[in-house]
Amino acid sequence: MDVKEGDHPDSTRNPLLNVNPPESLKPSGSGLNPAEALELAFQEYSPNTRRAYSRAFHQLQQWAEIRELRDLESFDTLKLLAYKQKMRDEGRKPATINLHLSAVRKICAVLHEIGHLQKNPFDTRLIRTERVAEGSQKGSLSLAQLHAMIDANEKIEYDRRNTNLLKIRNALLLKFLYLTAARRSEAANLKWEDLHQDGEFQVVILQHTKSGEPQKLKLRKELFEELQSWQTTLKENRINCEWVFPSLSFRTRGGKMSGKGVNDVISRLGAAIGLKISAHYLRHTAITLALELGEPLQKVQSYARHASANTTIRYYHDQQFLEKNPTDRLPMI
């Protein structure tokens, strides 16, 4: 469920785990129940990630009829393999199965580490990740399609009172998502204060990432200059806002766009050329093109900030990475 503009979800309304452990499984120190403990452990993760983790665990809970945490401890490897096979039988894609198991594995690891589980049922090497076909192009766009979306943006009939502003913002939003491989929520939360000059390089600090920790991205010089020009345009139109990609509707003019709002912009641009796409297609396109252009896999993984589906994502950007970055090789649009 997407968050509407101005809506800030309270993660405590949707606890990750709603079971009360028997007294023997409660940690002697904190006294927190599993839901409270997991909320504390995952409080810095993005709302979307917390929801995905919650959804994954509850699906396992329903399938296995887990009513107490001791039911988890009685899991054996064969039962976990049966659950994995059940997802295959449902027709779930390998990447989806990997993400699902990764979420459950992380939750169990946390519960074990903080003392709610004496045994971690996912601590086994026999539960291997699904093999994802290499070179999959699903979700990746061609340069011709990207250019067509830019051209379509000039022809779409926007609100006449805001036509020019909408055209500039939407084109810049498309370019930003493509050239940085950013997620829609990261673009929605981007503020002007997050753009910086780092020596001879232009960078942006993403404050609201999937991992919950701020991350630095390199910006193309051309994109940085277009963003600066966009900021001037906003001020000339008396829109003095903190957001790089603000809402331009008259009810919320200058306010924060939602992740859904960002997605709607890209979906509309795609629909204008006959494509049914989401904002994530631009991230997928950037990563695919970078690999096709011969960038080292390890550097592209760092550029995408997505090391593995089975681990908590960790990011790093150093000066050497700024000097030669995958974004430098991506064709400009």
Q: Going by DSSP bridges, is the β-strand pair 215-219/201-206 parallel, antiparallel, or unpaired?
A: antiparallel
Q: What is the pLDDT of residue 324?
A: 66
Q: How confident is the model at residue 218 (pLDDT cuts 50, 70, 90)?
A: very high
Between CA 150 and CA 273 the distance in angstroms is: 10
Q: What is the pLDDT of residue 264?
A: 96
Q: Is the pLDDT of residue 78 over 70?
A: yes
Q: 289-321: per-residue pLDDT in tens?
A: 887 777 777 777 788 886 553 322 332 333 445
Q: CA end-to-end span of the chain, whole Å? A: 32
Q: Is the pLDDT of residue 243 over 70?
A: yes
Q: 19-76: per-residue pLDDT in tens?
A: 544 444 444 344 677 778 788 878 767 676 778 888 888 888 888 888 887 788 777 7
Q: Is the pLDDT of residue 133 over 80?
A: no
Q: What is the pLDDT of residue 31?
A: 62
Q: Is the pLDDT of residue 190 over 50?
A: yes
Between CA 177 and CA 333 the distance in angstroms is: 12
| φ, ψ (nearest 5 deg) of residue 325 | -120, 145
Average pLDDT for the chain: 79
Q: Is the pLDDT of residue 255 over 80?
A: yes
Q: What is the pLDDT of residue 171?
A: 97
- 3-class DSSP assignment, residue 246: strand
Segment of 54-68, 133-147, 214-228 carrying the highest mean pLDDT = 214-228
Q: How confident is the model at residue 323 (pLDDT cuts 50, 70, 90)?
A: low
- pLDDT: is 163 or 79 the higher one? 163
CATH architecture entry for 143-328 = Orthogonal Bundle (1.10)
Q: Taking the mean position of all CA atoms in its chain, how far away is CA 294?
A: 25
Q: Is the pLDDT of residue 9 over 90?
A: no
Q: What is the pLDDT of residue 312?
A: 23
* Boundaries of every domain in the chain: 13-113, 143-328
Q: Is the pLDDT of residue 17 over 70?
A: no
Give 111's contacts (C-beta < 8 A, 6+ positions apart).
17, 34, 37, 38, 69, 72, 117, 120
